[in-house]
Amino acid sequence: MPESQGELRDSPHPAGASSAAAVVAAPVSAAPAVVAHPRTLRWELWLRDLFISLAIAAFIIIFIYQPVKVEGTSMMPSLADHERIFVNKFVYRLEPIERGDIVVFRYPRDPSQSYIKRVIGVAGDRIHIDGGQVYVNDQPLDEDYVPPAYTDVQSLQEMVVPAQSYFVLGDHRNMSRDSRDFGSVNQSYIYGKAVFGYWPMDKLGRLR
């Protein structure tokens, strides 16, 4: 708030008054200057910076990135039980969900729970599984993120992914409840993309 400025105006001489007469303004006593103690000033600046940092962090967490903890082994070896990651909750406002994305969504049979899986098929794709081998539009899917020890021998008859829906699977195929069990996931249930692992430190980095 800018300091208020005092204004001093000279009073005009009355008409016909002697030139010897003078109007003298009463002296105005200046307010004593207040000097902030350097330590107090530092605390004020620190609190201001802390408030701004917390506000920015809250905005990022609420609207963009959310830290989450993975529970379960259905996404091993890509994501381990109790691994901590960041989920981007804004990215799908800017770009479409694509095959290979690791997404977080509300479980269709109980929206109070959240699941994390990999997108295998998008709307209109024809999916079938033969002895563990996944086919998308009759083409075998090369899944280097599923080591031999994590595969299974399940089969699934061909299905077409409905509009605005996605077929999702866990990377640990014989330990995952996914679209083979509960069907495709509507886009309205998907609320984020897993993008970055931050704990444990040996898993630090971008998710793929």
Catalytic sites, residue numbers: 74, 117
C-alpha–C-alpha distance, residues 167 and 127, integer Å: 8
Dig out the tokens for 28 from the structure. 């105005």
Would you call 197 helix, strand, or coil by DSSP? strand
Q: How far is CA 122 from the centre of its chain?
A: 23
Ranges assigned E (strand) in 52-132: 65-69, 84-88, 102-106, 114-121, 126-130
Q: Are 140 and 44 in contact (CB under 8 A)?
A: no
C-alpha–C-alpha distance, residues 85 and 74, integer Å: 15
- How many CB atoms lie under 10 A from the CB of residue 65? 19
